[in-house]
Amino acid sequence: MNTQPEISIITPVFNTEKYLAQCIDSIIAQTFQNWELILVDDGSTDHSGAICDEYASRDHRIRVIHKTNSGVSDSRNIAIAQSRGTLLGFVDADDWIDPGMYSTLHRDLTANNADVAVCGYTFDWTNMNRPRHKDTSFFKILDRQEAIALTYEDKLIQSIFCDKLWRRELATAKMPEGRFYEDYATVIKWMASARRVTLNFTPLYHYRMRSGSTVNGVDPERRYHFLLAEIERAHFLQSIGITVSNGFTPRILHTAVTAAKLVARGCSDRNQAMSYIAKITDAIQPFLPADEGDLDRKTYSRLQKMLHHPSRFINAVRFSNLFLWSAKHKNKHLYP
């Protein structure tokens, strides 16, 4: 009972009583059994806290931390500080994992003397699912430079915690509190300390597509925070002497235009939309003026309109939205 666990699995919990049991059951069902699960009840107002306590009473490997609501970053930071494992894993409370996920990641990491092991995952809607990567048999060992480049690109390696197993000594940077996309800002900092990374696209994590999730939400604060995370990533890489082929500015400006576009389309309050577009504009001032050659013509045109005529920018973006129809999404039903 007092044996030190090899893997500490961290799950922040906030009002996810509908899905929490499936999440915890999938961790208990792991073929790799030498783990501890730290459930951080972040001031839930539903029955999530009671569900956590019930599971902890039945399995000594499960610990519960109850605290007042302060966000997922604080929850993860607290759990990391109290974890006992030599490796760290993360599972969101509304997701679930395949039984062999941690045995696969542990094998990949230890067999290849790696510091991080990455697996594939599926997007799960109520009526269908789709693997993130088409080639689910893909496997590769990356050195530090390759891993940083792919993490910054955010395609083959995405800046999320839940599809990875980490050596705990990499977790030196704390997650920014009070912000969305805390993983996007932090994963690249942890990855920069890794000597070797394994990349295995076998889909073992199930990412539940919910209407209220960070990815699917339309809160303008989330869009603004994504831009802040993008800027923070660039500043970090510059601070450790890492450069990218086209520089950081084009990506940041493209992210800013996309954020402003989503705010304009998703925010019904025009004054609020104007306020967030002003924040976005302020955030990118160090990266201006823009070079027209660094952006495609449409993005550059929207950037100029956003900077100099924000009201007209909102009108144009909202008008163009009337003609959007994405057939590939019409049959995908989000979880509530």
Determine the Cα–Cα distance for residues 299 and 319; give it in Å rounded to an integer. Answer: 16
- What is the largest distance, in Å, between two alpha-carbon atoms of the chain? 64
Of 322, 231, 313, 233, give the one whose Cα is nearest residue 276. 313
Q: Is the pLDDT of residue 321 over 80?
A: no
Report the pLDDT value the prediction gives residue 91, as an integer from 0 to 100.
Answer: 98
pLDDT in tens, 48-64: 999 999 999 999 999 99
Report the pLDDT value the prediction gives residue 332, as an integer from 0 to 100.
Answer: 82
Q: Is the pLDDT of residue 242 over 80?
A: yes
Of 93, 191, 74, give the one whose Cα is nearest residue 143. 191
Token pair of 177 as six digits: 């509190």
pLDDT in tens, 84-102: 999 999 999 999 999 999 9
Report the pLDDT value the prediction gives residue 213, as an integer from 0 to 100.
Answer: 56
Sequence-ordered list of residues with C-beta below 8 angstroms from that of 9, at least 6 positions apart, any chain: 27, 35, 36, 37, 38, 89, 90, 91, 102
pLDDT in tens, 195-209: 999 999 999 999 999
Sequence-ordered list of residues with C-beta below 8 angstroms from that of 191, at least 6 positions apart, any chain: 116, 147, 148, 151, 157, 170, 197
Average pLDDT, integer, range 23-37: 98
Report the pLDDT value the prediction gives residue 211, as an integer from 0 to 100.
Answer: 78
Report the pLDDT value the prediction gives residue 212, as an integer from 0 to 100.
Answer: 61
Q: Is the pLDDT of residue 37 over 90?
A: yes
Which run of H or E residues covers position 200? strand 196-208
Q: Is the pLDDT of residue 323 over 70?
A: no
325 backbone dihedrals φ, ψ, rounded to 5°:
-150, 115
pLDDT-derived band at 117, boundaries 50, 70, 90 = very high
Other CB atoms closer than 10 Å to residue 43's CB: what's the count? 17
Average pLDDT, integer, range 249-275: 95
Determine the Cα–Cα distance for residues 72 and 8; give it in Å rounded to an integer. Answer: 17
Task: Supply the mean pLDDT for the chain.
Answer: 93
Token pair of 98 as six digits: 């395949």
Of 98, 204, 206, 194, give the one whose Cα is nearest residue 151. 194
pLDDT-derived band at 148, boundaries 50, 70, 90 = very high
Report the pLDDT value the prediction gives residue 1, as an integer from 0 to 100.
Answer: 47
What does the chain come to in residues?
336
Query: Lowest-confidence range among 155-159, 260-264, 329-333?
Result: 329-333
Determine the Cα–Cα distance for residues 324 and 101; give it in Å rounded to an integer. Answer: 38
Determine the Cα–Cα distance for residues 110 and 121; give it in Å rounded to an integer. Answer: 21
Report the pLDDT value the prediction gives residue 219, as an integer from 0 to 100.
Answer: 84
Give percent helix, percent strand, percent coil of the chain, each to the nearest 5.
Answer: 45, 20, 35
Indicate the SS3 state at residue 134. coil
Report the pLDDT value the prediction gives residue 2, as an integer from 0 to 100.
Answer: 60
pLDDT in tens, 208-232: 998 765 454 468 999 999 999 999 9
